[in-house]
Amino acid sequence: MDVFKTLGLFIVTALAEIVGCYLPYLYLKEGKSAWLLVPAALSLALFAWMLSLHPTAAGRVYAAYGGVYIGVAIVWLWAVDKVTPSASDWVGVTVCFIGMAIIMFGPREANG
């Protein structure tokens, strides 16, 4: 799988997870409708399915996905929560993306 497909799939996966967690948050913390739990469950099911689309070992996918999730969560902080990320937030995201790239695209032994 090429770099851009992998990154794009991770970004959409992260959005599915964040939405799946954010909607119950709105219900639990802000008194929104319990009906938000239905699209939340569907979003989390989509998230789990999307993680299965990567052609490598599950543990590697989960580890690398975590780095992308952090980046998407910081963008969510900015776009949805209306909180401007700090310079250290962006440095942390950069470090996470570098880690994701090493995990997903680094050299492998024959069994890996």
Rounded to an integer, the average pLDDT of 4-31 is 92
Contact 37, 23 (CB under 8 A): yes
Contact 112, 58 (CB under 8 A): no
**Where is pLDDT greater, at 20 or 6?**
20
Helix (H, G, I), strand (E, B) or coil at 4: helix
Q: Which residues contact 71 (CB under 8 A, 6 or more apart)?
A: 14, 93, 96, 97
Q: For 65-91, how does the pLDDT look when each residue is reduced to its tens digit (9 = 90+)?
A: 888 899 999 999 999 999 999 999 999
Q: 86: which DSSP letter? A: P
The Cα 100–Cα 63 span in angstroms is 7
